[in-house]
């Protein structure tokens, strides 16, 4: 699933498609997968790193299709799916009990200076994300990468909206602290 393209980043899964998927309609399941897998994959890359993102994305959909009949429709389908994905990522991180860091692989002679500097900034932010608590990383990623609202994040993680705001602020402070420490 390298470099997935998200053809419909703002399109939401409709109730009829969810019902059809719950009744075993393979075409509906394929539609759901095709529309949402790029977003779930991006979330996984941010949460656990690229090495494990494919497997965990697939595991998320195995769980989603196994539990789709439990989807109540109280929130958007994508919010429910993000909750499954976030839980899968957090469980994986707990099992692993260690955090990975990605090495910056850049050939300065083959890239313009601006591009090298941009790659270095991206690598610093990625490493900082990996250094903070996984639950703070989840909130930050759901907000900044996935564009979820505080309400959607609260539903996804099963926490109050006010807690989302305070944890998002804490995540930003932690990221700033880690980034500043890496510059020294």
Domain boundary pick from 98, 121, 145: 98
Same domain assignment for residues 180 and 123: yes
Which tens digit of pLDDT belongs to each residue from 90-109? 888 887 754 444 433 444 44
Same domain assignment for residues 135 and 180: yes
User: Within 13 Å and on the Cβ side, how many CA atoms surround 56?
Assistant: 28
Same domain assignment for residues 93 and 117: no
Same domain assignment for residues 151 and 129: yes
Is the residue at 180 inside a domain? yes
DSSP assignment string, 90-139: HHHHHHH-S---PPP---GGGS-HHHHHHHHHHHHHHHHHHHS-HHHHHH
Is the residue at 59 inside a domain? yes
Is the residue at 148 inside a domain? yes
Which tens digit of pLDDT belongs to each residue from 138-173? 899 888 888 889 998 998 888 999 999 999 999 999
Which tens digit of pLDDT belongs to each residue from 26-65? 999 999 999 999 999 999 998 888 889 999 999 999 999 9
Same domain assignment for residues 16 and 89: yes
Domain that holds residue 166: 106-184
Same domain assignment for residues 14 and 93: yes
Q: CA-CA distance, 148 to 49, in Å (whole number)?
A: 20
Q: What confidence tier does 127 reach under pLDDT thresholds 50, 70, 90?
A: confident
Residue 124's Cβ-count burial label (10 Å; 0-12, 13-18, 19+) is middle
Q: Percent of the chain having pLDDT more than 90?
A: 39
Q: How many domains does the chain have?
A: 2
Same domain assignment for residues 18 and 87: yes
Closest to 89 in 3D by CA, of 154, 121, 136: 136
């Amino acid at each position: 699933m390298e470099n997935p393209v998200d053809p419909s980043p703002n399109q939401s899964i409709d109730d009829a498609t969810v019902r059809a998927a719950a009744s075993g309609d393979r075409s509906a399941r394929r539609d759901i997968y095709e529309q949402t897998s790029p977003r779930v994959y991006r979330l996984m890359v941010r949460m656990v790193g690229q090495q494990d993102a494919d497997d965990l994305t697939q595991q998320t959909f195995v769980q989603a299709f196994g539990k789709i009949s439990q989807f109540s429709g109280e929130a958007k389908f994508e919010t429910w799916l993000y909750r499954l994905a976030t839980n899968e990522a957090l469980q994986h991180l707990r099992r692993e009990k260690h955090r990975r860091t990605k090495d910056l692989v850049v050939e300065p002679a083959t890239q313009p200076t601006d591009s090298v500097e941009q790659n270095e900034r991206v690598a610093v932010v990625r490493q900082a994300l990996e250094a903070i608590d996984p639950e703070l990383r989840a909130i930050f990623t759901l907000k900044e990468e996935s564009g979820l609202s505080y309400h959607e994040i609260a539903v996804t993680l099963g926490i109050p909206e006010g807690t989302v705001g305070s944890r998002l602020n804490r995540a930003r402070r932690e990221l700033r602290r880690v980034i500043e420490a890496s510059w020294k």
